Structure 1
Amino acid sequence: MHKGSCLCGAVTFEIEGDLSAPDACHCSKCRKQSGHFFASTDVEKDRLTLKGAENITWFQSSEKVRRGFCTTCGSSLFWDPPHRDWIAVAMGAFDGPTGTGLNKHIFVAEKGDYYDIADSLPQNQQ
């Protein structure tokens, strides 16, 4: 069981089972949403239990994706393609160790110019 929350605790979540290896998205939308790149793990929606869902604001950032954040503290929590059976959960929202490690970088063609990607993980331009 993995647990997490937003900064103020108005939104909490639990995920049953192991987490898949997260990716780091460097696209301009994720950078603007999170303030840097957005690291997240994909979780089947039926494994996610939310408390305080009424405190989540969903922003439709494209036709295919909405982004969820805490209405009170603004913590970036979710990247949700509603037409899929999974949701991406922000790695920074987990409490304690996750037992995972980044597996790749995506949308590196859009990364900020103020940092370098210095690890040896795969980098997808899109």
Structure 2
Amino acid sequence: MLKGSCLCGDIQFETSAPAQGPSMCHCSQCRKQSGGVWSSAYVHENDLKITGSVRWFASSATAKRGICPQCGSFLFWTATDEDTISFALGAIDGPTGLSLQKHIFVADKGDYYDIADGLPQKD
């Protein structure tokens, strides 16, 4: 069971489904919203229980991002044409038991850091 919450605790989430695709996203939108890279994993929407009032922001025509309206924590990302939802690994309360599998949108990464962990990198 993975359980997580926002910084102020108003939003909580949990899943007992196996988290898939742990990754670090380097796209400009994730960097702007998180202040750095964003680490996440995903499950099917039906497998993630969310309590609290998430504010959804349509960041593009194909995706939306879920944040806490109280503290601003960036917690969720979902594509409009998929039935999965990504959740912030940094918001998990306690150990995740997961290991990163890849880096995504590395063509858009900031110039102020290097990716040197040897994991696969997707442009």
- The answer as to whether partners of 1:19 and 1:98 remain within 8 angstroms in 2 is no
- Give per-residue Cα distances to partners, 1:62-97, cap 9 Å, x unaligned: 001000100000001001113211001011110111
CA–CA separation in structure 2 for the residues paired with 1:82 and 1:49 = 19
The normalised TM-score by structure 1 is 0.94
Pairing 1:59–2:57 present:
yes
- The answer as to whether partners of 1:68 and 1:79 remain within 8 angstroms in 2 is yes
- The answer as to whether partners of 1:21 and 1:101 remain within 8 angstroms in 2 is no
- The answer as to whether partners of 2:18 and 2:43 remain within 8 angstroms in 1 is no
SS state of the match for residue 117, structure 2?
coil
Identical pairs, percent = 54
Q: What is the match of residue 5 of structure 2? A: 5
CA–CA separation in structure 2 for the residues paired with 1:70 and 1:63 = 21
Pairing 1:17–2:20 present:
no
The normalised TM-score by structure 2 is 0.96
The AA in structure 2 aligned to 1:70 is C
- Give per-residue Cα distances to partners, 1:95-125, cap 9 Å, x unaligned: 1111111100111111001111010000111
Between Structure 1 and Structure 2, how many residues are aligned?
123
Given candidates 78, 81, 84, the residue that maps to 2:79 is: 81
Alignment RMSD: 0.9
CA–CA separation in structure 1 for the residues paired with 2:79 and 2:119 = 25
Structure 1 residues 44-123: aligned runs within 5 Å: 44-52=44-52, 54=53, 56-123=54-121
Q: What is the match of residue 27 of structure 1? A: 27
- The answer as to whether partners of 2:40 and 2:88 remain within 8 angstroms in 1 is yes
Runs of 4+ deviating beyond 6 Å: none
Deviation of 1:19 (Å): 1.6
**What are structure 1's unaligned runs of at least 5 residues?**
none
